[in-house]
Amino acid sequence: MRGLMMDLPLTIPSLLEHAVRLFPDREIVTRTATGLHRESYAVLARRARRLADALRRLGVRPGDRVGTFAWNTYRHLELYLAVPSSGAVLHTVNIRLFPEQIAYIITHAADAVLFVDDVLLPQLEPLASALRTVRAVVVMGDGPLPATTLSEVYRYEDLLAEGREDSAWPRLDEHAAAAMCYTSGTTGNPKGVVYSHRALVLQSYAQCMADTFGLSERDVVLSVVPMFHANAWGLPFSATMVGATQVYPGAQPGPREILELVQGLRVTVTAGVPTVLLGLLGELEAGRWDISSLRIVPCGGSAVPESLIERFDRLGVTVVQAWGMTETAPLATLSRLRSHEERLDPATKRRLRARQGHPVPGIEIRIVDDSGHPLPWDGQHVGELEVRGPWVTAGYHEDERSKDAFHDGWFRTGDVANIAPDGSLQITDRAKDVIKSGGEWISSVELENALMGHPDVLEAAVIGLPHERWQERPLALVVPRPGATLTREALRDWLSPRVARWWLPDDIVFVDSLPRTSVGKLAKRELRERFAGHRWPAA
C-alpha cells in the first residue's frame, strides 16, 4: 500500500517563490564601496527571472554548469537562485585557491559561462588560455565594463536590462543537479561534489529546526562564510526559504566591517570559521560595539576551542560548534546542549559545547575500525568517522577517487573520532595529514613535494601545529643535502611562486633526519609530539 501524497518536487524555485509570495518587502542588504545596497524579495525574484532569460540567450541549457567567481553580494544571491531554478547547475569557484587549481576546477566542471566580480577580473585574466570550456564571461559591478583581455565579455546589468521576467520556471526533477562545489583538496586535484535540488532543500529544512539554527522570518542573517565555500554553509538557501532579512558583507570584509553590519542592521544570526570569530573578538574586546542582537553564531571549518566559546559567552553571545564537509552539503552535526545538560556547571557545559555534537535529523554517523567494523558509542573507542544521509554525496564528479571514498553505503570522512553514548561526536584527529588553517585545507604532501624540489633539500616533512589565530599552521621540517647551506627565508622564497601564499609554512626547522614507520612512511604523529611546544616566530 502506498501513501496518497501530492507529487510536488523539492526544488530551489519553490524556496524563492515561497519567500516572494509571503515576504515580498523583506530586504536583502549588501555592503558596497558606496554604502548599503537594498533590494526586496520582490525585486530579487524579478531580477532572478531576468537573469534566467539572460542565461538562455547566452546558450545555457539544462544541466550546463555556470561558474561564479565572486564575493558575497546580492548579485551572487541572484545567481544562487536563478541558475538552478533555470535548470542549469551553479558552480561556485573558490577565489582563494592558487591559479592552477582554479583553472583545473573550472575546466573539469566544464563551466559554460563564468560570472566574475569586477574586482576579481585581474585574477582570472592570466588563466584565459586554460579556460577552454568557458564561452562567455559576465562581469558583475556597478561601473562600466572594465577593460579586459578576455573575449566574449558581457556586463551583468546590461544582460538583466534586456531580460524578460514573465516566463515561468521549468518543472524540475528534484534529483537533478542544482549546484556543485569542489573540495579544497588534500592530495591531488580538488574533487567535485554535486548537490541535487532535493539535497539543498532538505538541508534548508534542517537548518530551520529549533535544535539547529532555528531560522525564521524574524531573523536577520549575515552570511560571512564565503559563498564559494560549501554554499556559504547553505544559509542563502535556508534564509530565503523562511523569508529572513539577508545581509551580505561584499568584497574583503574585515572584522570592523562585519561588526558595523551586525550593530547597524541588528543581525541575529551569523556564522564563520574560528579565525573570523577570533578577529571579531579582537575588535570587540578593544572597542565598544553593540552585538546584543545576535542570538546564535554557528562556528565550524575547524575545531572551536573552549577559550573562544568562553570569551563570547562573556559578551553574551552563544557560539555553537557545527561540523560538516563539502561532501555533506555541509551541515552534519551541531553541538547544542540538551535540556538536562543546562544544569551543569559552566566549565562542563563549555567542554560539551566544544565537541562536534549530535547529528542533525536526517544524518547518521558511525565510527569503524581499520577493518571497517562499527565500533561502540562509548566515548572511548576511536575510529574513522563515516556518515550518510539524504544530503551526503554519493560520489565525486567524474573522479575515479569516488570508489575509495565510500564503504558499505557510507561516506568515509577521513576524520578520526569517538562517539559518546548519547550520540555526541568528537573528532580527535585526521586520518590524512592535512592541515586546516582558517577553515581552508592545506596539503602537507604538496608542500613537501614543493620543498623537495629545491636542489639543496634532501627530505622534508610538513605537519600542522596549533596557532592562536588560524587554529593550525604548517611547520616544515627539512633535512638539507650534505654540505648545503639553507635558510628559512630562502626556502620560503622558493615556495612563494609554487603554492598559494596562505600555504607558506609559518616556520621552517632544519633537522638531521626524519623518523619513519616500519613501512617507510613519515612518522608524523611522532613529529607532532616532538614539536608540540614549538614557538612560532614573530610575524
Distance, in Å, from the CA atom of 427 to the CA atom of 332, rounded to the nearest integer, reads 13
> Long-range contact list for 395-401, CB < 8 A, 24+ apart?
396/191, 396/192, 396/193, 397/108, 397/109, 397/180, 397/191, 397/192, 397/193, 397/194, 398/108, 398/192, 399/191, 399/192, 401/188, 401/191
Residue 77 phi/psi, 5-degree rounding, is -65, -40
Q: Which of 71, 436, 470, 524 is catalytic?
A: 436
Let me know if 78 is a catalytic residue.
no
What does the CA dihedral 5, 10, 14, 18 come to, rounded to 10 degrees?
60
Q: Which of 71, 169, 410, 441 is catalytic?
A: 441
What is the three-class DSSP state of 281? Answer: helix
Distance, in Å, from the CA atom of 438 to the CA atom of 145, rounded to the nearest integer, reads 34
Q: Give which of 475, 466, 446, 489 is closest to 187, Cα–Cα.
A: 446
Let me know if 441 is a catalytic residue.
yes
Cis omega before residue 330 (within 30°)? Answer: yes
CB 85 within 8 A of CB 52: yes
- Pairing, β 410-419 against β 269-270: unpaired
- DSSP line for 23-78: -TT-EEEEEETTEEEEEEHHHHHHHHHHHHHHHHHTT--TT-EEEEE--BSHHHHH
Let me know if 403 is a catalytic residue.
no
Q: Which of 27, 174, 327, 448 is catalytic?
A: 327
Q: Which of 30, 68, 73, 183 is catalytic?
A: 183
Distance, in Å, from the CA atom of 232 to the CA atom of 195, rounded to the nearest integer, reads 14
The burial of 273, by beta-carbon neighbours within 10 Å (0-12 exposed, 13-18 middle, 19 or more buried), is given as buried
Let me know if 323 is a catalytic residue.
no
In whole angstroms, how large is the CA radius of gyration of the chain?
A: 24
In this structure, what C-alpha cell is assigned to residue 191? 574533487
Q: Give which of 217, 262, 255, 246 is closest to 30, Cα–Cα.
A: 246
Q: Please list the active-site residues.
A: 183, 327, 436, 441
